[in-house]
Amino acid sequence: MTDRPLRRQPLYSQIKQQLLRRIGDGEWQENDALPSEWDLADELGASQGTVRKALSELVADGLLYRAQGRGTFVAPAPSEWGEGLLLTPGLFNEQPDDLAREFLGISRGNASDDMAAALQLRRAAPLLRVRQLWRWHGIPVAVDEAFLPADEFEGLDARWLRGSSGVYQALQQRFGIRLKVLCEQFRALMLPREESALLGVTGMVAEAPALSLIRISGSMEGVPLEWRQRYCLTHNWAYTARRA
């Protein structure tokens, strides 16, 4: 690249941003192959090594995957359940069972102070609230609330959510936005009344300990866009996080 008077950001970083935008714009669909590293280098006026560095970061971010000898591909959107897996406690190498998701409803509300702070919104900002139920072999194991800034996602309604396989897929289809997990918090607490009913915890012992998960997700650039709160019953399962 000959004319590049101002370099605020390294070239590979600019290329990464550009590819991020083009993926978001739908230039390549899930599992589509990108142009080869050499073709991209040609097109962008950079060297193969520099393009490769940009691609490597996108692979690390989970947006792309590579197959030696075949090409570089757009990764499928992350599953609605998230990165954690439900496994039998103590076992780590098991394959996770598939979870079924049930859309419960969408409503409007206002941000709590915690939510407003985490999502960088003003106090009591309007939010969309999406509720989902998770079943494992038919048995309810978790309830989910996703809170999204209403201003950003005006037009997201039950039609989009019922038809899609979850909030993340709906956001990608409707707004072309892909979320990634920014941080997570875990707590143990007694299941609140309303969630107990949804999860079918009944009987003389009306209380059960539940794993509370709060997750902030955001754009690939790190702008927070979702506060998700989940209650998991874990007397028969454990929530697993794998690491590289």
Partner DNA sequence: AAGTGGTCTAGACCACTAG
Partner DNA sequence: TAGTGGTCTAGACCACTTT
Q: What does the binding site for DNA look like in residue numbers (CB under 7 A)?
A: 1, 7-8, 10-13, 34-39, 45-50, 52-53, 66-72
One-character DSSP codes across 88-124: -TT--SPPPPP-EEEEEEEEEEE--HHHHHHTT--TT
DSSP annotation of 204: S
d(CA 35, CA 15): 14
Per-residue binding letters, 91-130, with a second copy (x by CB under 8 A): xxx------------------x-x--xx------------
Please give the residues from 148 up to 187 whose contact with a second copy meets the rule CB under 8 A.
181-187
Cβ count within 10 A of residue 106: 20
Compute the C-alpha angle 104/198/189, nearest 5°.
Answer: 120
Q: Is 234 in the site for a second copy (CB under 8 A)?
A: yes
Residues near 141 by Cβ (< 8 Å), separated by ≥ 6?
86, 99, 134, 135, 199, 232, 233, 237
Candidate residues 1, 33, 206, 241; the one interacting with a second copy per rule CB under 8 A: 241
Query: Smaller CB distance to a second copy: residue 94 or 157?
Result: 94
Candidate residues 141, 216, 220, 225; the one interacting with a second copy per rule CB under 8 A: 216
- Minimum separation from the CB atom of position 30 to DNA (A): 16
- Minimum separation from the CB atom of position 24 to DNA (A): 19
d(CA 33, CA 243): 27
Q: Is 59 in the site for a second copy (CB under 8 A)?
A: no
Query: Smaller CB distance to a second copy: residue 148 or 216?
Result: 216
d(CA 228, CA 199): 18
Residues near 39 by Cβ (< 8 Å), separated by ≥ 6?
none
d(CA 2, CA 17): 20
Could you tell which of DNA, a second copy, none binds residue 206, using a CB distance below 5 to 8 A set by kind?
none
Could you tell which of DNA, a second copy, none binds residue 219, using a CB distance below 5 to 8 A set by kind?
none
Q: Is 188 in the site for a second copy (CB under 8 A)?
A: yes
List interacting residues with a second copy (CB under 8 A). Answer: 84, 87, 89-93, 112, 114, 117-118, 181-190, 209-212, 214, 216, 232, 234-235, 237-243
